[in-house]
A and B are shown apart, each in its own frame.
Chain A
Amino acid sequence: MKLDRTSIAIVVITVALLAAAPALPRWAMSLLNVSLCYGTVVLGMMLLMRTGLVSFGHGLYYCLGAYAAGTVDQMLKIPDMALMVLAGAAATGIVAAILGLLLARYRDIFFAMLSLAFSMILYGLLVKSSALGSTDGFNISAKSIFGIAVVDNAHRYATFGITVVLTMLSAFLLNRYLRSHRGRLAEAIRDNELRVEYMGASVRTTIHLHYVISAVLAGIGGALMAINIGHIDPEMTYWPQSGEFVFIAILSGTGNVFAPIGGALVFETIRSFAYEYSPNTWQMVLGITMLIVMIFLPGGLWSLLQRRKPA
């Protein structure tokens, strides 16, 4: 297996992050954690966008992953990080496989609207289910990883470790996938579905597959976020949350798997400062940035990097 530049970079960055962990201050670590969780979700959005689809309801899977992780903690009483993430991925995979049967037939705003409807259904259910804490949600706390108990600093490093490794692994695998035969179909489908069908490939199967992959990524991101923050609530599937994912995906562009992760990092960094200094103009900054990016940088922030070093 010959590795491309992006794959090598992913491995290098993973090793570097893990090696630097003891030297990272707390704030930097939590900023990285949250960005990487978001990055994982947006990786999935990127795959959908490459296929020409924008989901205004990916909060559904983000939330589902987090609640699946929470269920492992609350109901099964096994607060293990690895199991939580696995539960998140499995739950979202199953739900997406079923909903994908329907959604794979939809395009454009109808795809966006139906996924929005599904995410709001979950929202409607969660805010009224008192067993799951209604609008308040509930706290969860992971206490072990692969059965090894972790406390205090070990807990912090374990959380960081699992977040970095899983995000980077997702990016690595997605990067490989995008370079495979079927992965390359994504942009072909976006450009012209009919041609893809004439080539003998199935548009519907590919879209279904991409939908499931993106959902599982969102589920992993949600479960990781739950482990990191230690609290989950129904806002995770409310539509502005899904909008945030769309926003980061637009901001970062779909050029490379690093784009969503870098975009999420930029987004979270700006957000931490904006919350600190001007909480009431934060969304305005977002909106204006989004307009500027859409008008002047249709390829997202990633296209800036590409222009600097022509391939």
Chain B
Amino acid sequence: MNQLFAVLIDGIVYASWLFIIAVGLTLIYGVMKILNIAHGSLYALGAFTAVSFCSAWFNHNYAAAGSFAMLAAAAVVVGLIFGPLIERGLLRFMYGKDEVVLVLVTYALFLILEDVIKLVWGVDPLLVQGPNGETPYSVLGNFEASGLSYPYYNLVLVGVAVATGAALTWVLTRTRNGKLLIAVIHDREMSAAMGIDVGRTYFVTFTVGAMLAAVGGALTAPTVSVVTGMGAEVIVMAFAVVVIGGLGSLPGAALGAFIVGMVRAASIHYKPELELFSVYLVMAVVLIVRPKGLFSGAEVRKI
């Protein structure tokens, strides 16, 4: 019983983390039909920038709680620099090309950004840590739940995931811009004919998606040692999430994250050697049974 409870908690925390990373991917695919491999690099960029910002913060001996502001700042900075740069500098010349070609373009971009990271931050593992060992992680401390100890930081992840999901849903369904976006998703050319600035829509979408990837990276940075190649690891996991849920679907990303989170937590607790295997097995099974993911088919409206 206790273990089941632990699986549930770990699963939810892990699902939240996955959702934060995958939601940007699904947003970009849903609107622009680009399966963005470079999403993994943006995630890594967010993590590395978070390391730099937080280290600077701690080295000035400012209050440790402020490091959370630094994490957020890292995500915003990465999103605002690389989102526009990539969209305006490269992707806008590619619109209308085959989806597979677009995947390859972002793969090339992934390769380039991996080395940008190496050039800026070097190849040694880094930690989000102050001179006295303070981290955003340790500031919050732990709480006990049915005999097990969990860091409060995990609650931050859950909170950010829920807030992100809620905010996106609200924007898409309740605001004017969201409705315009849905029009663009349905029919790009017709929306353009009706006077919607499709270029601007794409620009904003990609920047927001890039920022979400960086948020994922920045929030992950304090919990792991930040190494090169972390983007490659995460992007396939994010693919699994969005493919299970249905590419381009917001509830799909949530469901996919939940499934992958639970499967992984369960396998870590009961059969640790099957951890990675089980995740991709679920992905393959879903693709076999429902090729376009769980949230697809009759449903026309995506996102």
Contact = CB atoms under 8 A, between A and B. Distances in A.
A113 B104 contact: no
Nearest to A123: B276
Contacts of B284: 114, 117-118, 121
B242 to A, nearest CB: 9
A112 interface: yes
A64 interface: no
A109 B275 contact: no
A291 B275 contact: no
A284 B116 contact: yes
A120 B292 contact: no
B104 A109 contact: no
Interface of A is mostly: helix
Q: In this complex, which of B104, B247, B275, B292 has the most chain A Cβ atoms within 10 angstroms of its Cβ?
A: B104
Interface in A83-111: 102, 105-106, 108-110
A284 B112 contact: yes
B232 interface: yes
A294 B104 contact: yes
A250 B104 contact: yes
A280 B236 contact: no
Given A121-B284, A284-B112, A290-B111, A112 B277 contact: no
A151 to B, nearest CB: 39
B291 A110 contact: yes
Given A108-B100, A117-B283, A246-B107, A128 B277 contact: yes
B274 A112 contact: no
B121 to A, nearest CB: 11
Contact of A294 (B101, B112, B113, B280): B101
A280 B116 CA distance: 9
A130 B283 CA distance: 24
A297 interface: no
Contacts of A106: 287, 291
Contacts of A284: 111-112, 114-116
Contacts of A129: 273
A288 B110 CA distance: 10
Nearest to A239: B236
Contacts of B274: 124, 128
A157 interface: no
Interface string B248-260: 0000000000000
Contacts of B275: 124, 128
Given A120-B236, A125-B277, A240-B232, A110 B100 contact: no
Interface string B267-291: 0000011111111110110011001
Interface string B103-132: 111011111111110110001000000000
B247 to A, nearest CB: 8
Contact of A109 (B99, B123, B240, B272): B99
B277 to A, nearest CB: 3
Contacts of B103: 54, 56, 109, 112
Contacts of B113: 287
A266 interface: no
Contacts of A121: 277, 280-281, 284
A284 B118 CA distance: 10
A128 B287 contact: no
Q: In this complex, which of A106, A125, A283 has the most chain B Cβ atoms within 10 angstroms of its Cβ?
A: A283
A198 to B, nearest CB: 23
Contacts of A250: 104
Nearest to A54: B100
Contact of A117 (B93, B108, B109, B287): B287
Contacts of A138: none
Given A124-B280, A239-B232, A108 B99 contact: yes
Contact of B118 (A117, A118, A239, A280): A280
B119 A281 contact: yes
Interface of B: 35, 90, 93, 98-101, 103-105, 107-116, 118-119, 123, 232, 236, 239-240, 243, 247, 272-281, 283-284, 287-288, 291-292
Given A116-B239, A121-B284, 8 more contacts: A106-B291, A113-B287, A120-B283, A125-B277, A128-B272, A280-B123, A281-B119, A284-B112
